[in-house]
Structure 1
Amino acid sequence: MLLFIALANSHYFLLGERYVGGFPAGGSRADDAVAWLVSTFVDGRAFPMFGLLFGYGVAHIVRRNAALEPRVVNRILRRRSLVLVVIGLLDALLFYAGDILVMYGVLLFVGILLVRRSDGWLLAVAAVFFVLTALPGMDSFSISTDGPDAAALPPDLATMFAERSLVAAYVALLGPIGFACPFAIGLWAGRRRVLERPAEHRALLRIVATVGILAAVLGAQPAALLVAGAYDRPGDQVLELIGPLHDATGVLGGFGYASLICLLATRLRNRGVVAAIAAVGQRSMTCYLLQSPVWFVVFTPFLLGLADILTVATTALLAIGVWVASVALAEWMRHTGRRGPFEALARRVMYSAVR
């Protein structure tokens, strides 16, 4: 999924004469093919899986500390929220304007209200926010015709900090709306340890994997074919339907990906490449944050400034290379017994609450 995150984030930096869904239009056939693949399988599909896993992890923290008083557990969660907000703000201001850790931190701070609510509450909250995601007319990156702004490609440091401060505030305040549904479903699934005990939930996982991924692929096609140049840009009223369809089915796709990977994991032996990828998952915050300095150096106009040189296809190759490098680094950490530095920091801050 961190590979998908790299593919999803990097194409938004590219410059061009016109845009659809964050892709510069008018590229080569290879660019169009990559744009179709990313729009179909990646954009709006990877982030919901992380929202699900984030909620699942919160449920795990609550369950693991069940012997503690609820107020102490809440303090642990609030400290995790604080870590995410601080690290996310620094990343957003210094490296990548679209960082979502701030959003996760805010979501957790509010989501503490849900951790002890009934299953009915969780499913109701998930349903409400899923419907909000699917409402026609909602803003959607999947059909946006805007190119990269000064926050993504700042001409100087002063502009960078000024513009990115506004973007970070926007992401922190409005971002949780789009991730509340996966977060609530993650809490629900975490209570039942669905991903930890796949043998007990195999039928559910198979249904979610099949329906979720199929819905995501089919629901992406109006937007994916548009960004690939298969048809001309329709009117705004049509776009206002295409965007929410892409986003809502992407939420289902995120659930489907989580279920499929869980089912595959029961058949894979934890060694070699599989162990290396698992090592990335155990250091996911560190490996995620390693991507941001790369985008900063490669695309920022006063550094390498390759936003008008790289294409959709070559940027995808860059994203793959960055992810492969993170896998190699995580595997080295695993062999040398090193925990990810940001994971270690988060754990130290969180559990200082019980001392």
Structure 2
Amino acid sequence: MVLSNFVNDDRSDRLARGPISQKERALAPDLARGFMLLLVVLAHAPTLLFTSDPWVMNRPEGVHLLDRVINFIGLLFVDNRARYLFAVLFGYGLVMVIENQLRKGTSDRAAKRLLRRRAWILILFGFVLHVFIGGLDILSVYGFSILLIGWLLFRPDRVLTRTLILVGLFYSLLMPFMYIHVANALGGVGFPRLFSATDTYTGIVLERLFSFPSVQFIHITTPMLLPILVGMWAGRKRLLIEPHHHRKQLSRIVIAGISISVIGGLPLALIGAEIWHPTPTVAGLVFSLHLLTGLAGGCGYAAIFGLIGAVAKGTGRATRSLAALGKRSLTFFVFNEAILVLILSPVALGLGKTLHSTGAAMVAVLIWLTSLGLAIALEKMKRRGPLDALFRLLVYWK
């Protein structure tokens, strides 16, 4: 669907409607967002460990068999898959927001203004999360991504498709060269620790204040723009909003996406499980393969919930619970990050000094279950997530 077909030439700056209501929400994206939060907290938990130097990415070397199994599973199904699922859903949501505005008669200029405001508020939220809370920020990256590629939401499908192809080719050429260099500089694909036992809150805040711009650059130079573009393309096709019309296509995406993701993730998972010990050059190539094929995994996970949404009635307990969490994904993404920092970082409980991959995974699951319980309680009270409500208030402020 071409969003420009809805463009209104009226030069008014007023929005024709407010945010999407609870009744307008589609089930499949909310289910996917709820599941996404589990994958994200599982992926982020090991990054806060400082018990030893990272072995692969931010995962520490296993001290026993279960640690190595957890590393293997995490690298195969979670790491560099969760963030792309998040980004695909983000791009999809942008299309829904703008399409709903334009369909109701909002002018092109007003819709663009709404998009820019959304971007800057995401950057603000991400800045607070990164600098003052100490969590792993992706919100500001999404904000800057809107500023870079948001204009595509107002262009025809062919422009979006061509841009998607060109960006995909760019990243496919960039990633191997970049990570071969990084791996040789580091002696492998174990990245520097985020924390050390001697860190103080003041020191962390100052370091993150100055590192904020460089973090955005690092994320943009990884394939982060690509999954957002894929999500925008999927939004144009309405794959998750009208999944019953796209079951065959969603099934193909599941099969192809998960297969590519597993095949591409297996080499790095073998390194993480300490089964394979390649040279830094080969490890860099393997890591770039892991990054690029992770997008297929994110798409496959999203398509799974599209298929579930096509048949689910939304009345089952599991479905309602997961959707309740997905409706409040902003609130509980930040909540999960804050609790991870509270439990693992050296400025609070400091368990990251003693836990390894298995313990981090257990902490992550417990945090996600806590979020799930809180989301169910908010759903019963018919209350939005606090940060979701604040975000809407700021974005749609008149």
TM-score, normalised with respect to structure 2: 0.84
Contact 1:104 1:176 in 2 (8 A): no
Contact 2:243 2:306 in 1 (8 A): yes
Could you say which residue in structure 1 is the equivalent of 2:100?
64
Distance 2:141 2:198 in 1: 22
Q: Which amino acid aligns with 1:326?
A: S
Q: Deviations over 1:116-160 (max 9, x none)?
A: 12222212222233234333133399962234134x777113321
Could you say which residue in structure 2 is the equivalent of 1:6?
41
Match 2:171 to one of 133, 142, 153: 133
Could you say which residue in structure 2 is the equivalent of 1:171?
215
Distance 2:53 2:220 in 1: 32
Could you say which residue in structure 1 is the equivalent of 2:162?
124
The alignment covers a number of residue pairs equal to 351
Q: Which amino acid aligns with 1:227?
A: G
Other structure's SS at 1:19 match: strand
Could you say which residue in structure 1 is the equivalent of 2:20?
none
Other structure's SS at 2:179 match: coil
1:24 is aligned to 2:60:
yes
1:288 is aligned to 2:333:
yes
Could you say which residue in structure 1 is the equivalent of 2:9?
none
Distance 1:292 1:145 in 2: 22
Distance 1:235 1:251 in 2: 25
Q: Deviations over 1:314-353 (max 9, x none)?
A: 110110000000010000000001011111112112222x
- Structure 1 stretches of at least 4 aligned residues deviating more than 6 Å after TM superposition: 140-143
Q: Give the C-alpha shift of residue 44 in structure 1.
A: 0.5
1:146 is aligned to 2:186:
no
Q: Give the C-alpha shift of residue 231 in structure 1.
A: 1.8
Q: Deviations over 1:76-134 (max 9, x none)?
A: 11111121111110011122342111101111122222111222221222223323433
Distance 2:237 2:279 in 1: 45
Q: Which amino acid aligns with 1:73?
A: A
1:267 is aligned to 2:302:
no
Contact 2:126 2:138 in 1 (8 A): yes
Q: Greater shift after overlay, 234-243 or 322-331? A: 234-243
Contact 1:92 1:164 in 2 (8 A): yes
Q: Which amino acid aligns with 1:261?
A: F
Could you say which residue in structure 2 is the equivalent of 1:34?
70
Other structure's SS at 1:53 match: helix
Q: Greater shift after overlay, 132-141 or 172-181? A: 132-141
Could you say which residue in structure 2 is the equivalent of 1:94?
132
Q: Which amino acid aligns with 2:39?
A: F
Give the root-mean-square deviation of aligned CA atoms.
Answer: 1.9
Other structure's SS at 1:266 match: helix
Distance 1:61 1:168 in 2: 28
1:80 is aligned to 2:118:
yes
Q: Give the C-alpha shift of residue 308 in structure 1.
A: 2.1
Q: Deviations over 1:245-301 (max 9, x none)?
A: 101110111111111111022233423121011011100000101012212212222
Q: Which amino acid aligns with 1:23?
A: R
Contact 2:135 2:338 in 1 (8 A): no
Contact 1:126 1:180 in 2 (8 A): no
Q: Which amino acid aligns with 1:216?
A: S
Change (3 A) 1:96 1:127: farther
Change (3 A) 1:18 1:191: closer
Contact 2:134 2:204 in 1 (8 A): no
Could you say which residue in structure 1 is the equivalent of 2:150?
112
Match 1:50 to one of 78, 86, 89: 86
Match 1:214 to one of 259, 263, 273: 259
1:190 is aligned to 2:235:
yes
1:242 is aligned to 2:282:
no
Other structure's SS at 2:311 match: coil
Q: Greater shift after overlay, 159-168 or 203-212? A: 159-168
Change (3 A) 1:279 1:97: closer
TM-score, normalised with respect to structure 1: 0.93
Identity percentage over the alignment? 29
Q: Which amino acid aligns with 1:4?
A: L
Q: Greater shift after overlay, 111-120 or 239-248? A: 111-120
Which runs of 5 or more structure 1 residues have no equivalent in the other structure? none
Q: Which amino acid aligns with 1:267?
A: V
Q: Which amino acid aligns with 1:161?
A: V
